[in-house]
C-alpha cells in the first residue's frame, strides 16, 4: 500500500472524538532559553504532563474505540512501559482485561505503574521486539485484541490528534522536532500536518545507540523486514526499537524532512535542562527532541519550532543521579579528602572552617584504611555543596591556608 493510501485510510476525526475528555490537551510552553540558543522561537509541547505520563494514551484510546465490541475479550500488548501504561488505562476505563508483555529489564517504576492500573504484566524477552512476538502469540491463542505500540493505523490516528493541537495552538508553526521509536508518533503528527497542507518541517530524532530509521532512510529501504540494527544500551529506552514498522516506514519516508541522532550525553543533558529551565520532568526518550535542538545542528527558522517532550515516566533514581552529576560538573558539588589530628576537637576545627566558608556539608566519612596516615591522624572524606567553581576554589584555598592537605576526588 502506498503511503498516500495509508494517510487516506487514517481516521483522525474518529480519533479526535475518542481521546476527547480523557487525554489532556497538554500545554505548549515558550522556552526563552532554547529560543536564545537557536536564534528563533522555540516552544515545548509538554506531553510529559499527559494523564499516563506520555503521548501514548492518545493512540491507545483511539485503538480501543475503533475495536468496539472487539475489545470485549480483553487487550494484549507489548511495550517498554509508556504504551503499556496507556493501554492498561484504556482497558481499565473500558472495563476489560489487559495483559502486557514487557522486556525483562523494563524499569521497575514503569512495571509498577502498569500493574497499579490492573493489568497483568509478563516480564519476558530481551527487547520490545521479542516481547511483541510473545504478545502476538498470546493474542492468537486467547482471542484478546492485540494493540500494537506503533504499527497500526488506529494508533497512528490517535497520535495525529497531537499534531492537530499544535496547528491550533501555534499559529506560526514552522517546524516540529520529535522522537522516533517505532514511528507512530511521527507518522501521526506528519499526517495531521499533511492533511492541513501545512508548510511545516518534521524532524525526527533517534538515540545514536539505536537508530533504525536513520539506517533505513539512508539506505532507501522499501521494506522493514530485512532491517534490524544492532542496538546498545540507552537511557532513551522508550524509543529503542530495532526495526522500523511496516506501516510507519513508508509513511515517514514521505513525511519526515530529516532524521537526526543524539548521544547518551546529549540526552542526559537535555533531561537536566528540562528540569532546571522548563520545570518539566522528562524521560530519556521524551528529551531527545530537546537534545537535538541543543546540539546546534538545526538552523534558525522563520516561525516557531516546537520540540515534543513526549513522556515523563523516568526512574527517580536515574534522574537524581543525573542532577547530582550536573552539580559536580558545574562545580556546585565537590568531594574532598584530607587528614585531621586524631584527638578530641580535631574534626570540629575542620568543619568550622567549612561552615565559615559558607559551604554545605552533604556527607562525611572517616577513612582509616588503605591510605597512609600518621599514628595520630585520621582521614576524612567530605562531600560538599558550594555556589560554584569560584566558591569551591575559595573553600579549598581557605583549607590549605589553614594547613590542611586537600585532595579533590
Positions annotated as catalytic residues are 56, 310
In what side-by-side order are the strands of the sheet with 120-123?
120-123, 98-102, 75-78, 145-146
Taken in order 31, 34, 37, 39, the sign of the CA dihedral is: negative
As a whole number of Å, the CA-based R_g of the chain is: 25
Cα 172 → chain centroid:
26
Residues 352-356: contacts with CB under 8 Å, at least 24 apart: 353/398, 353/399, 353/402, 353/404, 354/382, 354/384, 354/395, 354/399, 356/398
- Tell me if 309 sits within 8 A of 48, measured CB to CB: yes
Residue located via cell numbers 519476558? 124
Quote the Cα angle for 218-223-227, to 5°.
65
Cα 139 → chain centroid:
29
| CA terminus-to-terminus distance, the chain | 60
In a 3-state reduction of DSSP, which class is residue 394?
helix
- Tell me if 252 sits within 8 A of 187, measured CB to CB: yes
Amino acid at each position: 500500500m502506498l503511503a498516500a493510501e495509508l494517510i487516506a485510510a487514517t481516521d483522525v476525526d474518529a480519533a479526535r472524538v475518542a481521546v476527547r475528555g480523557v487525554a489532556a490537551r497538554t500545554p505548549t510552553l515558550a522556552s526563552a532559553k532554547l529560543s536564545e540558543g537557536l536564534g528563533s522561537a522555540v516552544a515545548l509541547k509538554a506531553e510529559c504532563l499527559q494523564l499516563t505520563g506520555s503521548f501514548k494514551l492518545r493512540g491507545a484510546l483511539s485503538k480501543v474505540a475503533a475495536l468496539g465490541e472487539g475489545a470485549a475479550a480483553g487487550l494484549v500488548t507489548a511495550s517498554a512501559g509508556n504504551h503499556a501504561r496507556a493501554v492498561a488505562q484504556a482497558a481499565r476505563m473500558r472495563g476489560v482485561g489487559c495483559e502486557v508483555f514487557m522486556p525483562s529489564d523494563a524499569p521497575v517504576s514503569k512495571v509498577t505503574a502498569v500493574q497499579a492500573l490492573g493489568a497483568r504484566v509478563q516480564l519476558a524477552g530481551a527487547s520490545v521486539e521479542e516481547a511483541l512476538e510473545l504478545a502476538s502469540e498470546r493474542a492468537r491463542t486467547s482471542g484478546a485484541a492485540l494493540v500494537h505500540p506503533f504499527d497500526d493505523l488506529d494508533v497512528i490516528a490517535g497520535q495525529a490528534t497531537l499534531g492537530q493541537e499544535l496547528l491550533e495552538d501555534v499559529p506560526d508553526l514552522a517546524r516540529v522536532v520529535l522522537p522516533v521509536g517505532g514511528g507512530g508518533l511521527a507518522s501521526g503528527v506528519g499526517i495531521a500536518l499533511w492533511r492541513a497542507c501545512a508548510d511545516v518541517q518534521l524532524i525526527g530524532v533517534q538515540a545514536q545507540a539505536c537508530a533504525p530509521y536513520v539506517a533505513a532512510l539512508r539506505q532507501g529501504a522499501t521494506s522493514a523486514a530485512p532491517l534490524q540494527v544492532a542496538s546498545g544500551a540507552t537511557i532513551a529506552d522508550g524509543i529503542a526499537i530495532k526495526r522500523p514498522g511496516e506501516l510507519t516506514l513508508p509513511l515517514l519516508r514521505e513525511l519526515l524532512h530529516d532524521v537526526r541522532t543524539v548521544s547518551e550525553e546529549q540526552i542526559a543533558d537535555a533531561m537536566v535542562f528540562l528540569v532546571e529551565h522548563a520545570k518539566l520532568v522528562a524521560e530519556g526518550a521524551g528529551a531527545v527532541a530537546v537534545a537535538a535542538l541543543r546540539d546546534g545542528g538545526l538552523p534558525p527558522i522563520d516561525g516557531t519550532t516546537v520540540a515534543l517532550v513526549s513522556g515523563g515516566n523516568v526512574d527517580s533514581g536515574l534522574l537524581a543521579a543525573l542532577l547530582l552529576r550536573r552539580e559536580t560538573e558545574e562545580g556546585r558539588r565537590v568531594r574532598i579528602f584530607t587528614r585531621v589530628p586524631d584527638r578530641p576537637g580535631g574534626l570540629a576545627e575542620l568543619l568550622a572552617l567549612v561552615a565559615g566558608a559558607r559551604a554545605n556539608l552533604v556527607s562525611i566519612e572517616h577513612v582509616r584504611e588503605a591510605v597512609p596516615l600518621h599514628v595520630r591522624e585520621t582521614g576524612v572524606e567530605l562531600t560538599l555543596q558550594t555556589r560554584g567553581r569560584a566558591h569551591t576554589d575559595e573553600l579549598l584555598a581557605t583549607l590549605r591556608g589553614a594547613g590542611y592537605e586537600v585532595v579533590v576526588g
